[in-house]
Amino acid sequence: MTVETLKRHPQLPVLEGPLVLAILDGIGWGPKDGGDAVFLAQKPHLDWLWQQCPTRTLKAHGTAVGMPSDADMGNSEVGHNAMGAGRVFRQGAALVQDAIESGRLLAGKTWQWLLEPLLADPQATLHLCGLLSDGNVHSHIDHVIALVAAADRAGVQRIRVHALADGRDVADPSFELYIAKLQEALDRCCGRDYRIASGGGRMLVTMDRYEADWAIVERGWNAHVHGNGPRFSSVQAALHALRQEPGGNSDQNLGPFVVTGDDGEPIGRVQDGDSFVFWNFRGDRAIEITKAFEFDEFPHFDRGRRPQVRYAGMMQYDGDLLLPKHFLVEPPVIERTLGEFLAVLGLTSFAVSETQKYGHVTYFWNGNRSGVLDAAHEVYAEVPSDRIAFDQRPQMRAREITDRVLEAFRGGKAPDFTRMNYANGDMVGHTGVLAATIAAVETVDAEVGRLIALVRERRGVLVVTADHGNADDLWMRDGKGRPILRNGVPESKTSHTLNPVPLSIFDARGERPWQLRQDLPDAGLANLAATLLALLGYEKPADYAQAVIQPA
C-alpha cells in the first residue's frame, strides 16, 4: 500500500536537529518499594528526566496494545508494534481466542489439512508443541486444550504433547500446575492415546530467538523429534529429577526431558506421515524451530533424520519469509507504519539494538516485516548479545548500542530519526534477581546520560520511554498489592508487569514550542508515533492515535 505524504504541522516547526528515541525495555512505573528495581537503582539521569523534563505515563498492557483484556500483560512484540504503527491492532492472543470461539480455526483449511493423514492412518500422530502456561505473551494453555478437544471430536487416535515450561510470564516455578491441567484435558478424551512426550524450560529448550543460540533449538529438536535426551518413565519423574539439578527450581531453566514407555523407548518420536503444530502465537521464539522443520538447506546443526510431516504454526511467524507455510490463524495486517511515512518524507532513520531486541526495533516496529523498508533512507545495526546468563552480566551490550549511535552521528549529517532498545531491564528482570536488575537499570541510566549529552550538543530532541514493565516489580503480590511471602521472604516474580511506562521528552532547542496535553489520560504506546511526528514538525495520518503533545 502506498502511503500519503504528510503535511507540515501548522504550528510546530520542523525539527532541524536529530530526534532520538530510547526504548528502555522493561522499565515501567512501579510501586516504589523494595521490589521495584527501578525505584531502588541509583539513576541520576533518569531522575533528572522524570523531574525536570515533561513526563507522563503511557499504558503498555491489555487492550491498549491489542491484548484480549486489561488483565493481560504487555510484551515487547505488541509494544513495538503499537509504537511503530501508531494504532492498536488486535494481537496474537486476541486473534487466536476469536478464531477458536468463532469456530474459524477448526473450519479453516490448515486444520483440515493437518487432520487428513491422521484420520487416514490411526497410527499417525498429532504432535503439539509450545509454551505451556497462561501467560498469554507467547501462548495460552487454553489454546492447546482446545486443539486437543477438537482432535478428539474429529477422531484423531494419537496425540503427543511436547510441553515447554514458562517461568517468565507466570509464577516460577509453576510448571507442575500446568502439566496437571493439561493432563486432565488429555484424560477426558477416553479411549485415545493422548500423552505428554517431552519438554524442557524455555530458556534452554526450543525457544531461542534471533539466532542467539541455536543449541537451544537443537536440544528441543533432539528431544521432541528424535526422543534423544534424558529419559524418564513419566513427566512427574522427569520433573522430580530435574528439580534436584542446579537451576532446577526455575521453570525457564529446566533441562530437556523425554518420556519413555514400558519398553524404555521414547513415546513421542516424530515419524513420517505425522502432523506437527507449534501452538505459540508469538513469532520471535517460534521462527527457529519452524526453520528446522521447513528449510531444506539448514546449516545450524545436524538434524539427523528429518521426518516428512505436515507442519503448521498457530500463526505465521514471519510474513516476508512465509514461515511457516501453513498456519491456523491469520496474523494482523499492519500497514502504513511510521517508518514508511518517514521514508516518503525523505527523512533518514537509524535503528539499533543488541540481538535480544534487534527484531523489535526492526521487524516488529515495522509491522511484522523483515528487512529495511527503504534502503535509501534507513540503516539498521545489530550488536551481538552475550551468551551468558543475564543476571551474570546485567550490563549486557548497552554501552555498545550507544557507541553505535555515536558512530552514526559522526562525520556527515546525523540520522533524522534514531531509535534504539536497551534490553537490560527486561532480560535481567526476567531472572528475578533483584541486585542484578538494579545493576541493569543503573547501566541503562548511564547510557541515557550519554544520549542526553549527544542530543544537547546537536540541539535535538530525546524521547525516553519503554515497551512494558518488568524491572519495576520483582515481587509476587496479592490482590491488594502486598508481597506474597515464602519463608518470610517476598516471592520473586519474573514476569512482565501491568504497570504503565514513563514517557519523558528532553528538547534541547531552548524554548519548547510544545507542551504535554492534559486531555489524554488513557494514552498508550500507540500514541507515540503521532508524538514523534509532531516533534519532527509534521501532522499525523488521520487514523493514527493522537499525539500527547500540542503547540505551546
19-91+333-551 to CATH, choices 3.40.109.10, 3.40.50.1000, 1.10.10.10, 3.40.720.10: 3.40.720.10
The residues, ordered by sequence, that sit 6+ positions from 400 with a Cβ below 8 Å of its Cβ are 354, 383
- State yes or no: pLDDT of 437 exceeds 70: yes
The residues, ordered by sequence, that sit 6+ positions from 336 with a Cβ below 8 Å of its Cβ are 1, 3, 85, 541, 543
What confidence category does residue 91 fall into, taking pLDDT thresholds of 50, 70 and 90? confident
d(CA 133, CA 142) in angstroms, rounded, equals: 9
Strand pairing class (485-486; 158-165):
unpaired
pTM of the entire predicted model: 0.79
Residue 196: which H helix or E strand, with range?
A: strand 193-201
Residues identified as active-site:
76
Instruction: Give the full edge-to-edge strand order of the sheet including 158-165.
Output: 231-232, 257-259, 193-201, 158-165, 125-131, 275-278, 310-315, 327-329
Assign residue 86 a region (left: φ > 0; alpha: ψ between -120 and 50; beta: otherwise). Answer: left
What is the pLDDT, as a whole number, of residue 319? 64
Residue range 499-542, pLDDT digits in tens: 999 999 999 998 899 999 999 999 999 999 999 999 999 999 99
Share of the chain above pLDDT 90, in %: 87
What confidence category does residue 211 fall into, taking pLDDT thresholds of 50, 70 and 90? confident
Give the mean model confidence (pLDDT) for residues 145-152: 98
- State yes or no: pLDDT of 122 exceeds 60: yes
The answer to whether residues 418 and 390 touch, using CB atoms and an 8 Å cutoff, is no
93-329 to CATH, choices 3.40.50.261, 3.40.50.2300, 3.40.50.10540, 3.40.1450.10: 3.40.1450.10
Amino acid at 291: K
**Structural domain boundaries of the chain?**
19-91+333-551, 93-329
What confidence category does residue 320 fall into, taking pLDDT thresholds of 50, 70 and 90? low
Q: What sign does the dihedral 271-272-273-277 (CA atoms) show? A: positive
d(CA 50, CA 45) in angstroms, rounded, equals: 9
Closest CA relative to residue 239, chosen from 170, 172, 176, 316: 176
Residue range 228-242, pLDDT digits in tens: 999 999 999 999 999
CA angle 259, 246, 225 (to 5 degrees): 30
**Integer angstrom CA distances of residue 325 from 94, 307, 382, 533:** 22, 17, 27, 36
The answer to whether residues 447 and 399 touch, using CB atoms and an 8 Å cutoff, is yes
d(CA 422, CA 424) in angstroms, rounded, equals: 6
Question: How high is the mean pLDDT of the chain?
Answer: 95
In the three-class reduction of DSSP (H, G, I as helix; E, B as strand; rest coil), residue 23 is classed as strand
The answer to whether residues 394 and 356 touch, using CB atoms and an 8 Å cutoff, is no
Closest CA relative to residue 347, chosen from 369, 371, 379: 379
Query: Hey, what's the cell of 500?
Result: 504503565
